[in-house]
Amino acid sequence: MAAEPITPLPASLPARIPPQLGVLMTAVISFGFAHSAYFLLPKYLELELHADPAQIGTYMSAMWFTNVAVVPFAGLWIDRAGRRPFAYLGAAVLLAACLGFLAVDRLGPLLLALRIAHGVAFTFFFVATQTLAADLSPPEKLGQVLGYYGSGFVITNAAAPAAAEWLAGRAGWSAVFAATAALSLVPLVLLAFVREHRPLRHEHAAPAPGILETLLRPGFPRVLATSALAGVTFAAAFTFHQPFALSLGIERVSDFFVAYSITAMLVRGPLGAVADRAGRVRVTGVSLCIYAAAAFAMTQLASLGLVVTGMAFGAAHGLFYPALNAFALENASADVRAKVTALFNGAFNVGFSCGSLGLGFVAHGAGYTRLYALGGVCSLAALAVLPRTRASQAPGRE
């Protein structure tokens, strides 16, 4: 009896997002809760340690300067040795840093060292897990998957500072630091259930591109410049809305994080595939216009409030980061993907760290309204340097 012919699957069958991404996302959310609680650190520094705006900018920027210094090595090592080992490293360093905050009672070297440890932890965990998410993603859903991945951090940007503010008001800051240490243990367990599939390299295969070769891909420097300038505007929002609001008599500063995160989640959830369909460069351009408008709106914080301005920044960043990140990763092979991710993240954090440090002195000398006006100008400058190439010509190697 002749065997029945096998009916091939239709070519148009939609690609499925692997279930392992759910486990990875849970690990990311746990890490994000522990990490994002420290977005409330400016309030702690001002009220508990009596820091001025310049000192707040210095300690907040230390983490991001560390990211900038470490991120090229992270990209190289993660491409070479695998994603999971460095995700474990990031979670372990975060645990140590959170425990260290229990001993902080003044401004000084210990606080600075712990902020540097935060930078090391975030860099390795973020680059490793985002690259792992990109590895697990179907190519045609890359923007959507990166949007979901980013949502894991975005939702914690709202919940963690709000919860930390509530807990600090009732049990003190030591309870906040102990809770973040407990949360940082969770990804150390969950990462054991995420498999990493690394492609085999042939003995005579060409060596993987290095950092410099990756950096100099056509169009990629403009992508990085765009990311860095947007990072300055983001620093203005995230680092200085708390002391600005406190100076205006607004005591509950976590409203900004809640409004920002809910809006960013709505943008990255239902609208997460817009950049994949409408064009990643086009969506990035729209987001930079919203970024500039949000920064200029912050000059009117006394009348607009933290909810409206937080929503504006949420809409901007919710569109911006996954769209431009996906554009940077288009056509990137597995042996270069972590380096592209690291350089893109590092460029954004160059802007964030320089913005946190430099804008603190602007606020100290000229006031917060000048600070936010300068942040808006940086987003308009980012729009000017944004690459105009089509997505099919994006930096990357087939």
What is the pLDDT at residue 64?
A: 76
Asked if residue 366 belongs to a domain, the reply is yes
Closest to 359 in 3D by CA, of 233, 197, 223: 233
2: in domain: no
Residue 168 has pLDDT above 50, yes or no: yes
pLDDT at 246 over 90: no
**CA 202, 205, 208 angle in degrees (round to 5)?**
115
Q: Provide the pLDDT for residue 8.
A: 43
| pLDDT score, position 390 | 47
From the CB of residue 216, how many other CB atoms can be counted at a distance below 10 Å? 11
- Asked if residue 204 belongs to a domain, the reply is no
Q: Do the domain assignments include residue 202?
A: no
b/e sequence 117-131, b meaning 16+ C-beta within 10 Å: bbbbbbbbbbbbbbb
Place of tokens 């203005």: 236
What's the whole-number average pLDDT of the chain?
Answer: 78
What is residue 117's predicted lDDT score, i.e. its pLDDT? 92
Provide the angle, in degrees to the nearest 10, between the axes of the packed helices 20-36 and 84-100. 20
Of the candidates 156, 201, 202, the residue with the CA atom closest to the CA atom of residue 179? 156
If pLDDT is split at 50, 70 and 90, which confidence band does 392 have? very low
Helix, strand or coil for residue 329? helix
pLDDT at 2: 43
Residue 273 lies in a domain: yes
Looking up residue 367, the CATH number of its domain turns out to be 1.20.1250.20
pLDDT digits (tens, 9 = 90+) for 278-299: 677 788 888 899 999 999 998 8
Number of domains in the chain: 1
CA 247, CA 130: separation in Å to the nearest integer?
A: 37
Asked if residue 147 belongs to a domain, the reply is yes
Residue 241's identity, in one-letter code, is H
Of 311 and 274, the structure prediction assigns the larger pLDDT to 311
Which stretch of 15-29, 43-57, 154-168, 241-255 has the lowest confidence by average pLDDT? 15-29
CA angle in degrees (0–180, nearest 5) for 308-245-50:
155
Q: Tens digits of per-residue pLDDT, 34-68?
A: 988 888 888 888 887 888 777 887 888 788 788 77
* Structural domain boundaries, residue 324: 20-195+210-393
Region 208-231 average pLDDT: 76
Q: Flag whether pLDDT at 189 surpasses 70.
A: yes
Whats the size of the chain, residue-wise? Answer: 398
| Tokens describing residue 265 | 């989640």
Contact 125, 78 (CB under 8 A): no
> Does 10 fall in a domain?
no
Give a three-class secondary structure readout of 275-316. HHHHCHHHHHHHHHHHHHHHHHHHCCHHHHHHHHHHHHHHHH
Span 92-130, pLDDT tens digits: 999 999 999 888 878 888 988 999 998 899 888 988 887
Q: Please tell me the chain's helix, strand, coil percentages from 3-state DSSP, rounded to the nearest 5.
A: 80, 0, 20
Q: Does position 166 have pLDDT exceeding 80, yes or no?
A: yes
Are 147 and 30 a contacting pair, CB within 8 Å?
no
Per DSSP, 196 falls in state -
Q: Could you read off the pLDDT of 302-349 as tens digits, one per residue?
A: 888 888 999 998 888 888 877 787 777 766 666 666 777 778 877 888
Decide if 3 is inside a domain: no
CA atoms within 13 A on the CB side of 254: 21
pLDDT for the residue numbered 12? 42
